[in-house]
Amino acid sequence: MKGKLSGIRVVDLSQFLPGPMLTRMMADQGAEVIKVEPPAGDPAREAGLFVDGVSVWFANLNRGKQSVVLDLKTPDGTAALTDLLRGADVFVEGFRPGVMARLGFGWDQVRAINPRIVYCSLSAFGQQGALSQHPAHDMAVQAMAGFLSVNGSPPAVPGVASADVAAGLTGLSAILMALIGRERTGQGDHIDIAMFDSLLPWCAHTAGSVLAGGEAPRADNQRSLGGAGFYNVYETADGRHVVLGGREIKFARSLLTALGRPDLIALADAEAGAPQAPLIAFLRETFRTRTRDEWDAFMHDIDVAYAPVLDFAEALAQPHVAERGLRRGHHIAPAIRFAGEDWQPGEVPPLGGNA
């Protein structure tokens, strides 16, 4: 597959998740991604479970790239990176603000080498601001952005690195915008992507009460708002769980009629602001009367936003995943694919294999 980004060269100096995910999405679409690693390699090479001696996590973040080992604290290393940047379209780095400038590769320094380069800096809190030097990974950013405050009480450790993923997706969008802009101006740009900044827009609906001048939402009141009975998690008879995931009154009408309780439909009306406790109590008691599989069968022909809570093994084993080609061996396929293209995972680069 040639890909939409064929002919774009990316120099990737990032590690762990946000930057490598961003540049992997570019590699999946045919960009030439040169992963610059220190002599010890990206720490993600040693993370998680391994298949044939390769970390599955690392493979899914770095397939289709080239690996070059450079020690940027040596003259040879800095000279080699300078040469790479001269011919690059995009440069991605994920260090704490100020580190790249001290190494001689800050935005102003790189722009002098290549005025057309799109330079993307990824960090926890951005290149300036009171928190810019504060050390943080994903969970700390989620905590400071308000995410964890509505994630159970006490807050649960997040199962997905939302701040990392938000930054990677935001960075990819910004780079593509900057490349389009370069076609018009001939000049590159510096993109300052913060995990914190990237996550906050995801909270606009949850933090709506604050934006409207009210109080902050709490974990213990998120499931007592209008229509909450139909946006909730329920335990089944076998100790597993299902969710109702749509507050619209039409879903409540369908399910409560099927359950023989049309008298509760009025309580499910989110707009009416009816008390939710009796409805939620009924649904909790009812869902405990059947197993998860029995509820799957019961819900099959009912127009309701219902889903079983699956683990990852169950999720990836669904026929839908196979039908859409979302898993290829040990790889998750990219969400962005185009008609007529047969995507296959690129090779996982050995450390320094392209030196």
Q: Residue 154, preceding bond cis, omega within 30 degrees?
A: yes
State the DSSP code for 202. G
Is 164 marked active-site?
A: yes
Per DSSP (E only), the strands in the chain are 9-13, 32-37, 50-51, 54-55, 66-69, 90-93, 118-123, 189-194, 231-235, 241-245, 306-308, 327-328, 331-332
Which one from 28, 89, 138, 164 is the annotated catalytic residue?
A: 164
Q: Is the dihedral of CA 172, 176, 177, 181 positive or negative?
A: positive
* Spatial contact of 221 and 272, defined as CB atoms under 8 Å apart: no
339: tokens are 């008609």
At residue 346, φ and ψ (nearest 5 deg) are -75, 170
N-to-C CA span, the chain = 25
Smallest CA-to-CA distance from 168 within 190, 135, 199, 125 is with: 199
At residue 7, φ and ψ (nearest 5 deg) are 95, -10
* Spatial contact of 263 and 224, defined as CB atoms under 8 Å apart: no
Smallest CA-to-CA distance from 329 within 340, 344, 311 is with: 344
State the DSSP code for 171. H
Query: Please, what is the Cα angle at 173 between 169 and 174, to 5 degrees?
Result: 115
User: Which residues are annotated as catalytic?
Assistant: 164
